[in-house]
Amino acid sequence: MESVVLPLELIQQFKCSDFPSQQDYEAWLRRNLKVLEAGLLLYPHFPLDKADTSSQSLRRIIREAFEKPMDLGKTGESMQNFRNVVLSLAFRSFDGSVPETCHWADGFPLNLWIYQTLLGSCFDIHEEISVIEEVDEVLELIKKTWVMLGINEMLHNICFSWVLFHRYVATGQLENDLLFASSNLLAEVENDAKTVKGPFYSKVVSNVVSLMLNWAEKRLLAYHDTFHDGNIEPMESIVSIAVLSAKILSEYNRKKRDHDVAYTRVENYIRSSLRAAFAQKLDKLDPSKHSSRKQNRAFPTLSILAQHVTELAYNEKAMFSPNLKRWHPLAAGVAVATLHVCYGDELKKYVKSITELTPDAIEVLMAADKLEKDLVQIAVADSVDSEDGGKSVIREMQPYEAEAVIANLVKSWIKIRVERLGEWVNRNLQHEVWNPQANKEGLAPSAVEVLRVVDDTLEAFFLLPISMHAVLVPELMSGLDKSLQQYILKAKAGCGDRNTFAPTLPPLTRCSTGSKFHGVFRKKEKLQSAQRRKAQVGATRDNSFDTPQLCVRINTMQRVRLELVVLEKRILANLSSSKSSNNDDIYGVNLKFKLSAAAAVEGIHQICEFMAYKIVFHDLGHVLWDGLYVGEVSYSRIEPFLHELEQYLEIISSTVHDKVRTRVIVDIMQASFDGFLLVLLAGGPPRAFSLQDSAIIEEDFKYLTGLFWSNGDGLPVELIEKHSATVQAILPLFHADTEHIIQQFIQLTMEMYGSSVKSRLPMPPTPDQWSPGDPNTLLRVLCHRNDEVAAKFLKKNYNLSKKV
């Protein structure tokens, strides 16, 4: 068989009469001539010698036979000549010797073409995708042509792998077993390529696997377009073919040999395909390409894209990663890292365009945050068994920091709201008149409005679809707290304290006893004092600080106090019911309006005190400081003061909020008691008291305390007794013997100054609070004692004058 040129023998043996028609014979003859031309002239086993006449003769014979097929072999001589030319070419050798084996079918690539044709006989002619049952027997027969065709095991593997692969592609890619078998044979070729490096074999293998690799990569570089649930089965074989082909080519291309071809190739397929899939998802959502979305500018493209990317990632993990994990242990991780980068690039562009907090911005950023968590979870789960624990993949996923972006946007939103509130406070308080008739509750309209703005701001904050209410609410509360504090501070601005209206203590004097002009001088001093008081009232007149207006300020601050508690409870309830918060988030969070609450308490205290001392020393100064006990004690008693004070108490009772009313009245009571004591101890020259006057004084004070008790309808007795304790302790001094007071004064002064006292008693300092055990208090009792003994003592020790 090795010494037979089969086409030549067939041409000699078969005649035209052996065929149904001359046309059939001529077609058959031309085919065989083409085989001889290919094997001996076009693709000879040994290169042709240009001086060899046999090759020229064969070309001429074949050319003439194509023109007139019936002339070939018409005579025995022409056929013999044809035979001699063919055999001379078939039995050539390098050294000129006559070989035992002829070479007419083992020239490249004819031998491979013929061998592939023979391998095609392994398939059923009626069903092209099916291999015949006798395939093993047929392959054994085909292998007998190896010597004739110059084929070996390695060439057989690459040829058969190509034939199976080509048959799979040519028949519509229906029979996956063909692809699987081709992949298995290609694995053998890959093993052969490691040891066989001949140029002929390398060229054959490289050409074949390049074709297979190109075909496979067209499908794998965008495998999301190629595969789906219904055709995922051949993917593993296609990846295998691509990887094996790449490995084989790497063996023959030493300059570009990769360390891990399979790993690198598969990672490239994953990244390329997912980038393409992401681009398609993005393109479908591009508003500029959809008229309906052009009209809806608020269309949250990236939030929907995030959902699609999440679906793409989970689909990748479930469908494709299991097939790819064989070559790349972090297939799913690389996939989600690629998607993370793709979405991140779009997110960066979006974040740069955000100028303020909007529902769409929050929706996109929340969607991005959820997407990132899903992608990281997939990457972590995929890398559990990897060498580096997936650090390389996780490192590639630069955080979106969506929560930080949201937090900054919310902080900006908070800042704007707080600034607007501050501007509102400044603007509206300038026009506030504190009118008690403005509403039923006697509140400042500005306070009602500012509390409404605060409430609306908090409501809007908790309606924000974010997951960090507990983290950011302290910042919002701090801003609102400062604004409310500013409102309170401005609301009480201009109000002084108890010392604003407290009269300046006149210099100490002694009483002038027995003067017949005594009453004249007292009337003159009373008139001058009243004139000074009226001048002060006219100079400081401001309606916004009248008693009704001050009551409105007190009511306003009390309402702020109460509303702050309500707001704090509402904030806590919102946090507790928020899906974004848990108990750990709420625990330890500052949920108090500390500054404004403290300012409200202090404001109420200051205004109450201010109003009390204003009423007693300013509004009623003409009947208390300028009138009480001036001249004859029995004719200048406390009734005028009580009458006018009662009117003020009625105004306060009908205006001030019931929860703070007692506080206001107590402060007025305390101011009245302080004023009463000032009249007794620092009333100046217009006032002089005898021992007989003490009963009137005690009775007047009883009337004063009775006004606040109001037959049980006013303040509790215990409260009145507590605040009147100082007065009650000092009143006994006014019916005490003068000598006794003097002795007690000397003793207390000596105890205060000790051995430093020499010839003259020092002047004791004015105390913060009057007391019967205080030397200055005793001295003042003596100064106002209409008594000869007291006057002489003061003249001798302090040389006090009789008038200012």
Which band of pLDDT confidence, cut at 50, 70 and 90, is reported for residue 755?
low
Q: How many domains does the chain have?
A: 3
> Is 566 inside any structural domain?
no
Closest CA to 397 of 476, 326, 343, 464: 343
Mean pLDDT, residues 526-536 taken together: 45
Q: Which residues form the domain of 46?
A: 6-104
Residue among 303, 191, 338 nearest 251 (CA): 191
In this structure, the answer to whether residues 313 and 349 fall within a common structural domain is yes
Cross-strand partners of 785: 689
- pLDDT tens digits, one per residue of 314-340: 999 999 999 999 999 899 999 999 999
Based on the fold, state whether residues 99 and 140 are members of the same structural domain: no
**In this structure, are 117 and 222 located in the same domain?**
yes
Q: Which one is predicted more confidently, 24 or 49?
A: 24
Q: Which residue has the tokens 């095609």?
A: 120
Tell me, yes or no, whether 119 and 18 share the same domain.
no
pLDDT for 126 equals 81
pLDDT at 537 over 50: no
Answer positive or negative: Cα dihedral of 675, 678, 683, 687: positive
Query: 182 with 229: CB under 8 angstroms?
Result: no
One domain for residues 131 and 84? no
Cis peptide before 445 (omega within 30 of 0): no
Residue 329 lies in a domain: yes
pLDDT for 365-418, tens place per residue?
A: 989 999 999 999 999 888 877 776 677 888 889 999 988 999 999 999 999 999
Question: Do 116 and 172 have their domain in common?
Answer: yes
| Domain annotation covers residue 308 | yes
**Whether residue 245 sits in one domain with residue 117:** yes
Asked, for residue 194, whether it belongs to a domain, the answer is: yes
Q: What is the pLDDT of residues 235-245, one digit of tens each?
A: 999 999 999 99
Q: Facing residues of 689 across strands?
A: 785
- pLDDT for 175-208, tens place per residue? 899 999 999 999 999 888 888 777 888 888 889 9
**What would the mean pLDDT of 89-105 be, rounded to a whole number?**
73
| Same-domain status, 12 and 133 | no
Q: Which of 372, 400, 428 represents a domain boundary (last residue)?
A: 400
Q: State the DSSP string of 756-773.
A: G--SS---PPPPSS--TT
Q: For the chain, give the percent of residues with pLDDT over 90.
A: 53
Residue 242 covered by a domain: yes
> Which of 379, 400, 421 is where one domain is finished?
400
Whether 253 and 109 map to the same domain: the answer is yes
Give domain status of residue 474, yes or no: no
Q: Of all residues in the chain, what percent carry a pLDDT higher than 70?
A: 90
Same domain, 127 and 251: yes
Mean pLDDT along residues 672-684: 95
Question: Has residue 283 been placed in a domain?
Answer: yes
142 and 205 fall within a common domain: yes
For position 753, what pLDDT does the model report?
Answer: 85
User: What residues have CB less than 8 Å from 748, skipping those under 6 apart?
Assistant: 764, 773, 774, 775, 778
pLDDT tier, 482 (very low <50, low <70, confident <90, very high otherwise): very high
Judge if 321 and 394 occupy the same domain: yes
User: Which of the 8 DSSP states describes residue 802?
Assistant: S
In the chain, DSSP finds a helix count (H) and a strand count (E) of: 34, 0
- For residues 369 and 400, the answer to whether their CB atoms sit within 8 Å is yes
Looking at per-residue pLDDT, the higher value among 732 and 710 belongs to 732
Res 524 pLDDT > 50: no
Q: Last residue of a domain, which of 104, 133, 167? A: 104
Residue 419 inside a domain? The answer is no
